[in-house]
Amino acid sequence: MSEPVVVFKNVGKSYPQYNHITGGLKNFIFHLPTALKTLRTARYESLRDLSFEVQSGECLGVIGRNGAGKSTTLGLIAGVLKQTLGDVIVKKRVFPLLELGAGFNHDLTGRENIYLNGILMGMTKAEVACKETEIIEFSELGEFINQPIRVYSSGMLARLGFSVVACLEPELLLIDEILAVGDMEFQKKCLDKMLAFKQKGVTMIFVSHSMEDVKRICDRALWIENHMLKQIGPVQDVVQAYAQSFHS
């Protein structure tokens, strides 16, 4: 229980202003001096000096207003983003559930996407095959599993995504809000699954705007405000302080 699995040490993340470049090579060359200057100087800071640790088997809730930097934090843990400052140490295999539909291809069927997703997260084909029926059953997608996922609703996409990570025996599970689009019954099923994971000692990091869910599942919470750590501690305290910040 005491070994840290995720360690953030004075992590900062800032983005250069890319919009000039995505305008194309032609624009970039014609406006070379200004383009280079904005590239060098204009930076948008989305996380500043963030330090925290997540212990093995712990469930950490991450809360904060829109644009505070929650998804950025998860992206850093998943390794798809790279910090500009500080250290990010992750000592378990990550099972990320980031954006809706991330890791899926829209032209493949639900079933094919299960394989794509599972293999991308580091499983072999054989390992995914063992779990295939379980995943499909959990998702309750029925006939739709053989349809290309471009015909799925967002709730169905979320079902598929959660089912894949839930059935592949995750070690470190990252969930970014995506459950919010599921119907009540599925949300309950997911929460139950997450509680079961907690019993088994799976480490989880859970971003949500639903304080109920956070309180139910998490032991501790991390509140990010204005791209900085505002408070970290027992879930009750942090959630209460966060709720109060809206009233004052």
- Residues 28 and 21 sit within 8 Å (Cβ to Cβ): yes
On the 0-12 / 13-18 / 19+ scale of CB atoms within 10 A, 162 is buried
Residue 68 touches ligand ATP, criterion: CB under 6 A: yes
Contact 210, 180 (CB under 8 A): yes
Which of ligand ATP, Mg ion, another protein, none is residue 46 near (CB under 5 to 8 Å by kind)? ligand ATP
Q: Which of 20, 70, 111, 159 binds ligand ATP (CB under 6 A)?
A: 70
- Span 68-127, contacts to another protein by CB under 8 A: 75, 78-82, 87-94, 96, 98-99, 101-108, 112, 115-117, 119-122, 124-125
Which of 38, 71, 105, 109 touches Mg ion by CB under 5 A? 71
Residue with Cβ nearer ligand ATP (46 or 163): 46
Alpha-carbon gap, residue 213 to 113, rounded angstroms: 28
Among the residue ranges 51-59, 65-73, 82-90, 185-193, the one whose residues contact ligand ATP (CB under 6 A) = 65-73
CA pair distance 81, 162, nearest whole angstrom: 22
Secondary structure of residue 6 in the 3-state scheme: strand
Which of these segments, 66-74, 88-96, 110-118, 126-134, binds Mg ion (CB under 5 A)?
66-74
26 binds another protein (CB under 8 A): yes
Instruction: Dump the DSSP string for 217-248.
Output: H-SEEEEEETTEEEEEEEHHHHHHHHHHHHH-
Residue whose token pair is 């850093």: 76
In the complex, the residues that contact another protein under the rule CB under 8 A are 7, 9, 15, 18, 21-22, 24-26, 28, 75, 78-82, 87-94, 96, 98-99, 101-108, 112, 115-117, 119-122, 124-125
